[in-house]
Amino acid sequence: MYGWRGRVGMISPARGDTSLYEFYKVVPPGVIAVPTSLGVQRLSSDQLSAVLDRYEDAVKELVYEECDVMLLSGTPPVTSGVPGTEERLLERARAHTTVPVFTGVQAEVEALRAVGAHRIAVGSPYTDDLNEKWKRYFTSRGFDVVAVEGLGIEKNIELAKLPIYASYRVARGLFERYPDVDAIHLTCPRWATIVNLEGLEQDLGLPVTSSSQAQIFGSLSRLRIRDRISGFGSLLEKLATFGDHPASVRVAETA
């Protein structure tokens, strides 16, 4: 059994190809992902709205698979929804399981707080409309979001086809335009980010986080796995000293 330390149920709105690849590039032995996809093909308002009702069935499926933690991935469905969307998703999911359940956007918030970020610039592959919704959500969570800039992509498969260096160039451009931020965040787990984070932090001299990195951090911290992980950004290096019961996780699980 490959997942003897933890089975992470991962519900992705679209294909979780890139996020799965980055997950296995980082996680220590004994941790396995149990993925399922909800079939979103375009990052359009109608598809993002329609996908919300599919999360509950996916949770039931992962309950059968005996996962130890469940991740409701997908930031756009939450940030594009009406107020209370995230809370309803979590409430409906937790009605079917006793294991920790968290959202992808929740993991992003926890990651930024863990590196001490407040004034942030955000890079994404998304459209301006989705970026504006992302900004409103994170502003409501107490962050000073000075900019959210994206590549204007709506078709999901195009996210996975972006060159690996795309997220590096976006982050570097943000830093050149907004050098007074205290962190840069790269949202969306379907474009490559994990291999760029270490180099970006060295080059820019500040924390750089990403969705896929945040989801890994959120999964491992909830599993109480504290391996010393290096080479993928300062956030993951914090796992070794994060403790058994991090305050961010306790608050998130009882919210």
Q: How many domains does the chain have?
A: 2
- Long-range contacts, stretch 108-111, CB < 8 angstroms, 24+ apart: 108/75, 108/138, 108/185, 108/187, 108/209, 108/211, 108/214, 109/138, 109/141, 110/214, 110/217, 110/218, 110/248, 110/249, 110/252, 111/185, 111/209, 111/213, 111/214, 111/217, 111/218, 111/235
What share of the chain in percent tops pLDDT 90?
69
144, 69: one domain: no
> Considering only 80-84, 224-228, 237-241, which range has the smallest mean pLDDT?
80-84
**Which residues lie across from 89 on neighbouring strands?**
none
**Which DSSP state fits 32?**
E
**Residue 27 is part of a domain; what is its CATH number?**
3.40.50.12500
Bigger pLDDT: 12 or 106? 106
In a domain, 137, yes or no: yes
**Residue 205 is part of a domain; what is its CATH number?**
3.40.50.1860
- Per-residue model confidence (pLDDT) at position 210: 97
155, 193: one domain: yes
Residue 76 has pLDDT above 80, yes or no: no
- Per-residue model confidence (pLDDT) at position 251: 36
Q: What's the pLDDT tens digit per position in 152-201?
A: 998 888 988 999 999 999 999 999 999 999 999 999 998 999 999 999 99
97, 12: one domain: yes
117, 100: one domain: no
In a domain, 218, yes or no: no
- Per-residue model confidence (pLDDT) at position 244: 53
Which structural domain range is residue 137 located in?
108-212
96, 151: one domain: no
75, 116: one domain: no
**Which residues lie across from 35 on neighbouring strands?**
10
In a domain, 235, yes or no: no
Mean pLDDT of 128-143: 92
The model's confidence at residue 45, banded by pLDDT at 50, 70 and 90, is low
86, 146: one domain: no
160, 189: one domain: yes
How far, in Å, CA of 133 to CA of 251, rounded?
24
In a domain, 21, yes or no: yes
23, 67: one domain: yes
pTM score, whole prediction: 0.91
- Per-residue model confidence (pLDDT) at position 54: 80
How far, in Å, CA of 76 to CA of 105, rounded?
9
Residue 16 has pLDDT above 70, yes or no: yes
Q: Within 13 Å and on the Cβ side, how many CA atoms surround 134?
A: 30
- Per-residue model confidence (pLDDT) at position 56: 85
88, 114: one domain: no
Residue 119 has pLDDT above 50, yes or no: yes
The model's confidence at residue 57, banded by pLDDT at 50, 70 and 90, is confident
163, 127: one domain: yes
In a domain, 232, yes or no: no
In a domain, 224, yes or no: no
- Per-residue model confidence (pLDDT) at position 212: 95
50, 95: one domain: yes
The model's confidence at residue 250, banded by pLDDT at 50, 70 and 90, is very low
In a domain, 231, yes or no: no
In a domain, 240, yes or no: no
